[in-house]
A and B are shown apart, each in its own frame.
With several copies, the nearest count.
Chain A
Amino acid sequence: MTEAAVSEAPLHEPASPQQEEMPFAIVQGAPFTELPKDLYIPPHALEVILEAFEGPLDLLLWLIKRQNLDILNIPIAEITRQYVEYVELMKEMELELAAEYLVMAAVLAEIKSRMLLPRPPSVDGEEEDPRAELVRRLQEYERFKQAAEDIDALPRLGRDVFSGAAEVTERNATRPLPTVDLREILAAMAEVMKRAEMFAHHHIQREPLSVRQRMSEVLEHLSTERFTEFPCLFRLEEGRRGVVVTLIAVLELLKQQMIELIQTTAFATIHVKLVAPDMTPAELDEAADYR
């Protein structure tokens, strides 16, 4: 069979989807069965077919599939002729024609002309088939066209799969408290210190933390209303160091005028009391806000 024979093959009228399955094949070197020439397709059905194409590659694939051609060995001249006729048909029916269809027509025409030219003799025997790029694109598109159909066939929620759900009678949603890493505190402190150092008038002095902690503990122990006996602040089981730390803490608190010490007579028991605030803590906060 020659190329001429193929190109003389009648243009197969667009078939309805059922006709795609017809055993119409062109077998190399063998006679082929013709599609009925008098096949009538109502204009509306034709429009539906033409509108269904997802672009030039889809149309080309359809033309190839419909004739049972091998995608790797497309009869370019014939396919080009059919393609152009379909595009003309789509124009005639005033379908919205994407620009890509016209670009493809030009590509096909170019391949066709290159196919007709004698190939330059190649050095290593390797020569590119002018159709190679088109075949690659067609195959690439075809596999994703198939993949889309496969995805469409997957069991789908709400169609093939129904997810179970039960009621919960009492929902008490809570918001957990933020978590803090100790290193975040350290980083915050380091940041403050770095910033504070930029204010020259602040000189941050390092003190043993145990004294600061003990100051807090002493304050907690004391009240503004009643006196506490001074010896009660000390815990002998802490040993000498503990006693010294407490003493330094008390002296520091005294210096900062946060506590009062009272001794009625010499060598009598010393009593300790918190300095009373003039305002309640809430009032103090408010006062601070207005500052």
Chain B
Amino acid sequence: MDVQQLKNIIEAAILAAGEPVSLDRLQGLFEEDERPAPEDFRMALAALGEDCAMRGIELVEVGSGWRFQSRKELVPWVSRLWEEKPQRYSRAFLETLALIAYRQPITRAEIEDIRGVAVGTNIVKSLTERGWVRVVGHRDVPGKPALYATTRAFLDYFNLKSLDDLPTLAELRDIDKLEAELDLIGDVPAPAAQIERIPAADVEPVELC
């Protein structure tokens, strides 16, 4: 099978699927005796990506595989296809999702502990129904609470290839470092200068448990 034919099959299949298609699934399109080698697939995917440079779509790899999507600079026009505004998510929803994404696997009680407030059942339910979050086990403590983790669909939705692509978490600063310089009994605010946000570059890598 020549490269052009392979490229065409891959292009047709990914677009026909209408969802990300994994390399495994692409390989499964061929009978064993005609199946190109894995490096042929990678080469064809790379070539297909290059072909897109002049087109309206681009080939990207997200959590569950490869998909074509509209080029960023065309989004202003493409988004006019639909009248309704994209959905907005509540802070409680996003914070719960963030905790599951960065701290997975995590129980609901652990989420509530960090947020300092109860997590509604409807939030967990809606995250699960969207297929972004699922129960991956149960913690071995009394009550055997469910452990939540994010799914590939979550990565796909937010255009991420893996959890490593999540924005980095801000780093924690240590109160002890300040104690030496400050009069602790005098309940005094710190100089405004110390409040500056930590520049992104200094931030430690994401903690993924």
Residues of A within 8 A of B (CB): 1-3, 6-7, 25-28, 52, 54-58, 67-78, 98, 100, 104, 115, 118-119, 129, 131-132, 135-137, 139-152, 154-196, 199, 202, 204, 206, 208-210, 212-213, 215-216, 219-220, 222, 253, 256-259, 274-279, 281, 284-289
Contacts and interface: CB of A to CB of B under 8 A. Distances in A.
A244 to B, nearest CB: 15
A147 B97 CA distance: 9
Contact of B118 (A1, A98, A174, A183): A98
Contacts of B75: 160-162, 168-170, 172
A189 B159 contact: no
B4 interface: no
Interface SS of chain B: helix, strand, loop or mixed? mixed
A192 B177 CA distance: 16
A191 B175 contact: yes
Given A137-B116, A213-B164, A285 B70 contact: no
5 contacts: A147-B101, A161-B159, A175-B87, A275-B139, A276-B138
A1 B18 CA distance: 65
Given A144-B95, A193-B172, A204-B114, A173 B83 contact: yes
Interface residues of B, number: 96
B109 interface: yes
A63 to B, nearest CB: 12
B96 to A, nearest CB: 8
A129 B61 CA distance: 48
Nearest to B192: A25
Interface in B179-203: 179, 181-182, 184-195
Contact of A166 (B67, B138, B192): B67
A204 B178 CA distance: 21
Contact of A258 (B69, B70, B134, B140): B140
Q: Which 4 interchain pairs have the tightest Cβ spacing?
A: A55-B117, A70-B190, A216-B149, A165-B18
Interface string B58-88: 0000000001111010010011001110111
Interface string B119-163: 001001000001000111111110111110110000011111011
A75 B189 contact: yes
A185 to B, nearest CB: 5
A144 B158 CA distance: 17
B115 interface: yes
A187 B84 contact: no
A70 B194 contact: yes
Given A176-B86, A258-B105, A216 B136 contact: yes
B16 A168 contact: yes
Nearest to B155: A213
B170 A202 contact: no
Nearest to A1: B188
A27 B84 contact: no
Contact of A163 (B16, B113, B176): B16
Given A78-B187, A164-B68, A206-B169, A140 B114 contact: yes
A176 B83 CA distance: 7
A162 B56 CA distance: 11
Nearest to B208: A178
Contacts of B185: 115, 118-119, 181, 183
